[in-house]
Structure 1
Amino acid sequence: MNGVELFLLGRTLMKIGEQAMPRVESGSPGSNRSVLVVLGDLVSHPGTTVGEIAARTGLPQSQVSTAVARLEEAGSVDTGPDPADRRRRLIRPTAQPSDRVAEVRAATIDDALAAALADPDGTAPDPGVVREVSQALDVLARRLTPSVAARARDLDASSD
């Protein structure tokens, strides 16, 4: 596998993940992407600012602010003043997950993965194939955590 193939696989996995998540009535699938990117960054960098998240993720600051507002409304993050500079707000994941966070965490990927692996004519995939792919994803999830990605980004930034 090369970098392009890995990148495309990552995009495919993101789309399957979006399909697996319970929908919010007002949310479209694409509206979750920036929220998930911001939340992923916050898991690796708790106690950070909107500007720092924007710099690390490459998202526009306005998009990060909107995502933080949605996460705060859902009870996924807390914000508070920075003791070093009271004009800035620090963002961190909440200590106690909200009902929405619990609902999202409880959702499985089974149906979305089976749909993605179905034949083009809609024929259901072999259950053994679904199980094999699911087990491979479990291994990747254990080995490639958000902190691994953060370290890779930090190494990449330090080599510039």
Structure 2
Amino acid sequence: MNAVDLFLLGRTLMKIGEEAMPTEGIGPQTTSVRTVLIVVSDVRSHPETSVGEIVARTGLPQSAVSAAVARLREAGAVVTEPDPRDRRRTVIRHAPQISERVTEVRTAPVDEALATALGGADPGEVAEVTAMLDALAARLPPDALTRLKP
């Protein structure tokens, strides 16, 4: 495995994840699933943050972050409120209770998308690859990214 292979594997896994995300009933969206998930990951790593801080850490355009935060707020994944110390700043936090939409997304199975990506693999092969991905995810959780950047 080299850096290019690792990058391409990560991109492939992101696309499989995007394909597995349930989208029924949410209507057209101006932000990509990838952008929303980057924002989710950032808010998870920085529990009390602002749009400007997310922009600085992720390199995403402010408009994309703002749209992703609005989409997450509508889904019940985050709450926003004015910062009591600086009313010009809006604080973004994970919602205290998990919404139905967040539960639906978090529990969406990947088997079908993974089987398709594997070229119509049999259920045993899908289960084997899923187990490998579970092991990898346990070793490299989202907060592992915080160790890469200063």
Smaller-chain TM-score bracket: over 0.9
* Equivalent residue number for residue 101 of structure 1: 102
Q: CA deviation at 1:126?
A: 3.5
Which runs of structure 2 are paired with 1:15-54 in the superposition (5 Å)?
A: 15-25=15-25, 26-27=27-28, 31-54=32-55
Letter in 1 for 2:140: L
Which runs of structure 2 are paired with 1:91-130 in the superposition (5 Å)?
A: 91-118=92-119, 124-130=120-126
* Equivalent residue number for residue 14 of structure 2: 14
2:129 counterpart of 1:145: no
Give the conservation status (yes or no) of the 8 Å contact 1:77–1:91. Answer: yes
TM-score, normalised with respect to structure 1:
0.87
Misfit runs of 4+, over 3 Å: none
* Equivalent residue number for residue 55 of structure 1: 56
Flag structure 1 segments of 5+ consecutive residues without an equivalent. Answer: 119-123, 155-160
TM-score, normalised with respect to structure 2:
0.92
* Equivalent residue number for residue 121 of structure 1: none
Distance 1:69 1:43 in 2: 16
Q: CA deviation at 1:27?
A: 3.7
Is the partner of 1:153 in helix, strand or coil? coil
Distance 1:27 1:130 in 2: 31
Is the partner of 1:59 in helix, strand or coil? coil
Letter in 1 for 2:16: I
Percent identity between matched residues is: 61
Q: CA deviation at 1:16?
A: 0.3
Give the conservation status (yes or no) of the 8 Å contact 1:80–1:89. Answer: yes
Q: CA deviation at 1:24?
A: 4.0
Is the partner of 1:65 in helix, strand or coil? helix
2:80 counterpart of 1:79: yes
Q: CA deviation at 1:31?
A: 2.0
2:4 counterpart of 1:4: yes
Q: CA deviation at 1:90?
A: 0.7
Distance 2:24 2:140 in 1: 28
Q: CA deviation at 1:127?
A: 3.1
